[in-house]
Amino acid sequence: MNNNMINITLPDNSVKQFSESVNAIDIAKSISEGLARNVLSATVNGEVWDANRPINTDSSIKLNTWNDREGKDTFWHTSAHLLASAISELFPNAKFGIGPEIENGFYYDIDFGDNQITPEDFPKIEEKMRELVKAETKIIRKDISKADAIKMFSDKGENYKVELINELEDGTITIYKSGKFTDLCRGPHLLDFSPIKALKILTLAGAYWRGDEKRKQLTRIYAITFPKKKELDEYLNFLEEAKKRDHRKLGKELELFMFSDKVGQGLPIWLPKGAMLRERLENFLKKVQKEYGYLQVITPHIGDVKLYKTSGHFQKYGADSFRTITTPNEGEEYFLKPMNCPHHAEIYKNKPHSYKDLPYRIAEFGTVYRYEQSGELHGLTRVRSFTQDDAHIFCTPEQLKEEFCKVIDIVLYIFKTLKFENFTAQISLRDPSNTEKYIGSDEIWEQAENAIIEASQERGLKTTTVIGEAAFYGPKLDFMVRDAIGRKWQLGTIQVDYNLPERFELEYTGQDNQKHRPIMIHRAPFGSMERFVAVLIEHTGGKFPLWLTPEQFIILPISEKYEIYSKKVLSLLANYDLRGTIDERNEKTGKKIRDAELAKIPFMLIVGENEEGKGTVSVRRHGEGDLGAMTIEDFAKMVDQEVEKELK
Ligand SMILES: [Zn+2]
Ligand SMILES: [Zn+2]
């Protein structure tokens, strides 16, 4: 073999030989010119590199295009440089923080000093960005020493960059230059801006430097770019649709929940319709859990500091979380509950256990409190108080797999009933090359990991496996759903835990008459009621399934003459256990129908002389229109059948 040749292994395990100093573009060209045009970056031995960076040793490489996550990341990260380059030309005094790519697009945190910018500046910035793209501005990578980097950025007054460089280890630092703008950056980037064919600045937000409330608030500019104009148009349409479904907007319109600054930031208040919806969700899950042998418990909202010291939560949440609550008694300190698990561990300890009474499954809709920075709060998805649909299963190692299967069955039933048809599960395992990081014996880890893998296979889950993502205390399985407009949400977790049983010294007597530690499984299929309802609102656009919706019907009398008959219909339907109201306003029927459509009420029951005479209602279905006249009984039967079908 020629010594000057290097071997490049491609993802399909085929090996190609090149002379030294080959780069990703050359490799792509050896496959096809088309591919070479589309390569955005390359993953070289697990690290993402610029497509023109020389590869000098035998390597395994993956070429990244727009269709790969890594390709998008490179594209969007480079676009952040484009945004910063444009801004540095338009606002010479701007100082730059950080500019990472995100799930959709990218942002840059910038200190504009006294020149605050507004959305009115967007077109001008976009225009400048387009100019730089047209000029095919190159992005040039350069290695410099730490001392030189500090000098360079200090001279430019880039104090945020200087702070970041100071924290880097000594040695060479990479900087990237594009036009007049130079950024501290590890890369990788596109070779120039020309692939960026469509761009849009989206929004402004405030962001504390390094997420620290005590530091200066910078302006965060969110933007997105695409290789094709069509893709930008599609994305903007998607944003419009997402806006319509925003749970904060719909939650208000449908009168489900509210927030009050006086009550406190990030503390959701459930209004009557929302509370009823939540209660139905809870009852639905309680019923399923009962069938699966769970026992319902209730624990207080606070706990003694000693409890959380035993569990380790004090160490984890203590410093950044809420402060302790003290009482007039000397030395008494309480904490708002950040997790239900420690309370449940104490419930387990309340009586001795034998292998015969395991698994022991206890469930609670337990409200927990965690501090979140006010800038991080977001509707029902980032809150300071939320209720988990929590449960803990205490079992023997041999029971793990079966318990996992059962929890998966509950999750699948929930997804099916609530029409989350598109979901995947992620299995998080430990890093086998670093086992001392984890607690519990090798044997027990192997058993638990196999239990999760086998249970997922048996239940036919579409899974991805991530090595090294397990918590130090055990492997886990997370469910991700895609909503109706394709967004990904994490819902539902099943987590194995060896740590808490150890810390709380939980025991059971085995068949051998010896004491053993049980394994604890934490699981929450909804995650939290708040987050789940938020996702459900955005998934359904507020058109909830019939069994769940706050109002199944609304009676629309065509004039006040039919008020008495309306009330009679309402009480008859209440006897059938259906939920609804009467629109008693003195409005035209057309207006009442429009409002009921807006409120997304599934059935409108119109009553007038004809209906009163025959003892019927004229039924209109939301989004569908007229279903004709029906007797009260027939209408109730129709709703009943539909609900039954939904819950099957
Ligand atoms: Zn960069
Ligand atoms: Zn737990």
Give DSSP secondary structure letters for 245-301. H-HHHHHHHTT-EE--TTT-TT--EE-HHHHHHHHHHHHHHHHHHHHTT-EE----S
**Taking Cα atoms as reference points, which of 162, 194, 155 lies closest to residue 178?**
194
Strands 553-557 vs 603-607: parallel, antiparallel or unpaired: parallel
pLDDT level of residue 457 (50, 70, 90 thresholds): very high
pLDDT level of residue 224 (50, 70, 90 thresholds): very high
Give the pLDDT score at 348.
97
Give, for 304, the enclosing helix (H) or strand (E).
strand 302-304
Give the pLDDT score at 121.
95
pLDDT level of residue 1 (50, 70, 90 thresholds): very low
Average pLDDT over residues 2-7: 75
Going from the C-alpha of 595 to that of each of 379, 484, 491, 587, the distances in angstroms are 25, 24, 33, 11
Tens-digit pLDDT profile for residues 291-343: 999 999 999 999 998 998 898 888 777 666 667 888 888 889 898 988 999 99
384 half-sphere exposure, CB direction, 13 A CA radius: 18
Give the pLDDT score at 318.
66
Determine the Cα–Cα distance for residues 448 and 476; give it in Å rounded to an integer.
9
Counting ligands in written order, the one closest to the CA of 181 is 1
Tens-digit pLDDT profile for residues 510-532: 999 999 999 999 999 999 999 99
592, burial (CB in 10 Å: exposed 0-12, middle 13-18, buried 19+): buried
Give the pLDDT score at 319.
62
**Taking Cα atoms as reference points, which of 272, 275, 285 lies closest to residue 647?**
285
Tens-digit pLDDT profile for residues 638-647: 999 999 998 8
Distance 439 CA to ligand 2 centre (A): 17
Residue 434 has pLDDT above 90, yes or no: no
Determine the Cα–Cα distance for residues 531 and 159; give it in Å rounded to an integer.
39
Give the pLDDT score at 323.
77
Determine the Cα–Cα distance for residues 118 and 128; give it in Å rounded to an integer.
16
Determine the Cα–Cα distance for residues 200 and 209; give it in Å rounded to an integer.
24
Counting ligands in written order, the one closest to the CA of 189 is 1
Distance 340 CA to ligand 2 centre (A): 6
Average pLDDT over residues 173-179: 87
Distance 268 CA to ligand 1 centre (A): 39
Determine the Cα–Cα distance for residues 536 and 530; give it in Å rounded to an integer.
10
Distance 503 CA to ligand 2 centre (A): 14
- The amino acid that residue 301 corresponds to is H
The conformation of residue 621, written as its DSSP 8-state character, comes to: E
Write the CB contacts of 9 (distance below 8 Å, at least 6 apart in sequence): 15, 58, 59, 60, 61
Residues at Cβ < 5 Å from ligand 2 ion: 341, 522
Give the pLDDT score at 3.
61
Give the pLDDT score at 648.
83
Tens-digit pLDDT profile for residues 233-289: 999 999 999 899 999 999 999 999 999 999 999 999 999 999 999 999 999 999 999
Choice between 440 and 606, residue whose per-residue pLDDT is larger: 606
Give the pLDDT score at 322.
65
Counting ligands in written order, the one closest to the CA of 392 is 2
Provide the phi-psi class of 138: left if phi over 0, else alpha when psi is between -120 and 50, else beta. Answer: beta
Could you tell me the two tokens for 469? Answer: 């993502």
Distance 12 CA to ligand 1 centre (A): 30
Give the pLDDT score at 272.
94
Give the pLDDT score at 320.
61
Residue 160 has pLDDT above 90, yes or no: yes
Give CA angle at 590 (585, 593), nearest 5°. 75
- The amino acid that residue 139 corresponds to is I
pLDDT level of residue 412 (50, 70, 90 thresholds): very high
Distance 254 CA to ligand 2 centre (A): 32
Q: What is the mean pLDDT of the chain?
A: 91
DSSP-H helix ranges across 543-631: 563-575, 589-598, 609-614
Residue 436 has pLDDT above 90, yes or no: no
Counting ligands in written order, the one closest to the CA of 500 is 2
**% residues pLDDT > 90 (the chain):** 73
Tens-digit pLDDT profile for residues 18-77: 887 899 999 999 999 999 999 999 999 999 999 999 998 999 999 999 999 999 999 999
Determine the Cα–Cα distance for residues 483 and 419; give it in Å rounded to an integer.
9
pLDDT level of residue 136 (50, 70, 90 thresholds): confident
Determine the Cα–Cα distance for residues 258 and 266; give it in Å rounded to an integer.
10
What residues are annotated to the active site? Answer: 341, 370, 388, 390, 392, 476, 522
